[in-house]
Structure formats: structure tokens, C-alpha cells
Amino acid sequence: MNPGSSWIFESVGKVASGKETPAAAPDARARVPSFLVVPSQVKRVLSSPAGAATVKYVGDRQRVADLHHLEVESAVALAIMALFSGGLGWLVAGRVLRPLERAYDAQRRFVANASHELRTPLTASRALLEMVITDPHATTLTFRETCREALEENEQQEQLIDALLALAQGEQGLDRREPVDLAVVVRDALREHEAEAAGLHLDIELVPALVSGDRRLLIRLVSNLLQNAIRHNLPRGYVRVRAHQRDGRAVLEIANSGPVIPAAEIDRLLAPFQRLAPDRLGHPSGFGLGLSIVAAVAAAHDARLDIASGEAGGLRVVVGFPPAGVIEGAVEPAYLAEPEELAQGFVSQSR
């Protein structure tokens, strides 16, 4: 029942029950609409007890019908809102929980891979020691050779633990920062890998470039990139290294020749314990953590990391650091090699 009809019933009921007397006849300026005027015959019927009871009964039934209709509409609206809220909650929860689920899966894979990598040298060392202990014909030379192999397995385990610690430190972020000359870091890393780079052509240009960060992590970043470029190269291939400033930012560029790497594989190689090909599994220090450590250290320094496949194979890596100021004369120059070293093919250019 609409509000107008309810008001009519209430007004008529009051008139019929004698609780309210009809209003005085309106004047011409406030004329009541004809459809609201109750005829005299109806008034006489409604003024009787039976009429008043009838009006009250009809009004009560109408109120019950209105309340039932309101309850039905409210239930329908509540059901629609529940469905809408559930769908919206499922959509939002899916978007929020999906990254968490991927992170959980990645962490679970990382723990499984780390456990496997840590268990492998321990199992090998134990097998070596058990073999020589149970051999009745073992000699002093056999014991020495077994101990040497066990030490090599132990060194691999130490390298893996060191790499895991570097990855954890990079993902944790920086506790402190200090000014570091990127060119000096690159120069020192090249000296450490000089023997490993024998037979490769190194094209190097080093210009002082200041970075605000952790020196140890920066050394690890540069060392991992150089190690990756040197080890996964072609015979008599090349490694091109640049450390310079661009628009006030320190930039490190390392490119190398090597096997062709599909662009779709690059993102996967940034994850821990990921190798491009099975032949990398056999490398003494190839745990598949090099590029993941580089990515973690770059993120800790708010640096931009760009990795792309080389035109003729290999990788081209560019690390752009945030502005950190200008190096003044007190910084050690990034000098790399003596002129006679250039003739040996170790360095093509250094400045």
C-alpha cells in the first residue's frame, strides 16, 4: 500500500471512531481535492461500530502485507549484496594472495634446492671417507688422496654457504652506506680474475664513478658478473667492461661473447639455483646463484639492472646506480695494467 492510501485509511478510521472530527469546511483559497472528500453515506457507514471494525481490520491486513513485502525485498537485496560482496572479496583476495602464493612457492623451491646443494658435498665427503676406511688395502697415499678430495668437497660447501649469505645480505638491504669508487672495485675484481681470463680478449674502460653503498656487496656484484662473463664464454672470446658516469649516475656495463641465450630464459636465470644448460651443473663453483645475487645487490642499492642477450650470443648487463655525488682528487685512480700487459692481450684499453 502506498503512503497516500495508508493516510486515507488512518484518517477515515479516526473519523469513523470519533477520535478526530472532520476539519472545517475549507474556504475557496484552500479547497480540498475531491478525491479526498468522504461522502456522507460512507461517513454514516464508517461511524458505525461495524464500519470502524472493518476499517481497522483492512488496515491491519494491509500493514501485514506491507511488512511481508518489505521483508521479501530486504531478503532479496541482502542476498544480492552477499553475492556481490563475496565475488568482490574473492577477486580482491585472489589478487592479494596470488603474489603471496608465488612467493611461498619460490621460498619452498629455494629451501629445497639449498638443502639439496648443501647435502651433495656432505654426501660425497662421507662416501669418500667410508670407502677408504672400509678398504683393507688402503695405504697412506690412498688416505691422503681421499682427504684431498674431501677438502675439495668442503671448499664447494663453503663457497655455497658464502653465496647464500651474500644473497641473504643483498635481499635484506643495506644497514650502512659509504662512498665507493666503482672503477676501483672493478679494477680489483679484474685482478682477481686475471688468471681465469687467460685466452680471452678484455676490452676495459674505467672512469671514476661514485656509488653510495656497501663495498663488500658491490665487490660481490662485480665479481659475479665478471665470473659469469669469463666462465660462460667461447674460446678466445671477448669480455667488454665499462665503468663510467652518465647524467651524474655511476654505470657498470659488462658484455661477453658466448652461447646464444634465449630472451625468455633471462628472467628465469635471475632466480636462485637456476642454470641455463645442464653443462653448467658440472662447474666447480656453478651453483646457479650468480645472477640472483647480482639482482639482490642491485635492488639493495636502488640500482636499475638491465640484462639482455648479446647480438652474437652471451649477455649484456647494465647496472645503473642512483646519483651519489662527484669524486674529487683524493680518490685513487682506476689504473689497471702496465703497458706490457696490453701486449699479452689481457687489457685492450684502460683509463
Give strand pairing partners of 240.
203, 255
| Residue 168 shares a structural domain with residue 182 | no
Span of 89-93, 110-114, 189-193 with lowest mean pLDDT: 110-114
Give pTM, 2 decimals: 0.59
Task: Indicate whether 186 and 162 sit together in one domain.
Answer: no
Averaged pLDDT, 111-117: 70
Q: pLDDT by residue (tens digit) across 38-55?
A: 677 777 776 778 777 887
Single residue among 172, 189, 216 that ends a domain in this structure: 172
Whether 123 shows a pLDDT value over 90: the answer reads: no
Q: Give the mean pLDDT of 169-194.
A: 88
Distance CA 300, CA 220 (A): 13
The whole-number pLDDT of residue 343 equals 33
DSSP reduced 3-state for 26: coil
Flag whether pLDDT at 10 surpasses 70: no
Which position has the grid cell 657498470?
252
Distance (Å, whole) CA 61 – CA 69 = 12
| Residue closest to 328 by CA, chosen among 197, 208, 200, 194 | 208
Task: Report the C-alpha gap between 124 and 138 in whole angstroms.
Answer: 18
pLDDT in tens, 222-232: 999 999 999 88
Q: Does residue 309 share a domain with residue 235? A: yes
- Domain annotation covers residue 228: yes
- CATH at 131: 1.10.287.130
5 neighbors 36 (Cβ within 8 angstroms): no
Same domain? For 7 and 28 the reply is yes
Report the 3 state secondary structure along 72-105. Answer: HHHHHHHHHHHHHHHHHHHHHHHHHHHHHHHHHH
Whether 121 and 142 map to the same domain: the answer is yes
3-class DSSP state of 280: helix
Note the Cα 124 to chain centre separation in Å.
36
In a domain, 104, yes or no: no
Quick one: 74 and 158 in the same domain? no
As a whole number, the mean pLDDT across the chain is 77
Mean pLDDT of the region 231-259: 92
Mean pLDDT on 104-116: 68
Compute how many other C-beta atoms are within 10 angstroms of the C-beta atom of residue 286: 16
Check whether residue 339 and residue 265 sit in a common domain. Answer: yes
The reported pLDDT for the residue numbered 347 is: 41
C-alpha of 82 from chain center: 32
CB 226, CB 254: distance < 8 Å: yes
pLDDT on residue 201? 92
Angle, to 10 degrees, between the axis of helix 182-192 and the axis of helix 215-231? 50
Q: For residue 242, which phi and psi values (nearest 5 degrees)?
A: -135, 135
Residue 23 has pLDDT above 60, yes or no: no
Is the pLDDT at 319 greater than 70? The verdict is: yes
Task: State the Cα–Cα distance between residues 74 and 68, nearest whole angstrom.
Answer: 10
> What is the Cα–Cα distance from 81 to 73, expressed in whole angstroms?
12
Return the higher-pLDDT residue of 51 and 309: 309
Proportion of the chain above pLDDT 90, given as a percent: 24
Q: Which three cell numbers stand for residue 26?
A: 475549507
Confidence band, pLDDT 50/70/90 cuts, at residue 337? very low
Closest CA to 221 of 166, 258, 183, 178: 166
Whether residues 208 and 239 share a domain: the answer is yes
Q: 141 lies in which domain range? A: 109-172
Quote the number of domains for the chain. Answer: 3
State whether 189 and 308 are in the same domain. yes
pLDDT at 256: 94
With a pLDDT cut of 70, the percent of the chain lying above it is 72
Most confident of 38-42, 116-120, 135-139: 135-139
Residues 58 and 129 in one domain: no
Q: CB-based contacts of 185: which residues, under 8 Å, 6+ apart?
A: 215, 218, 219, 222
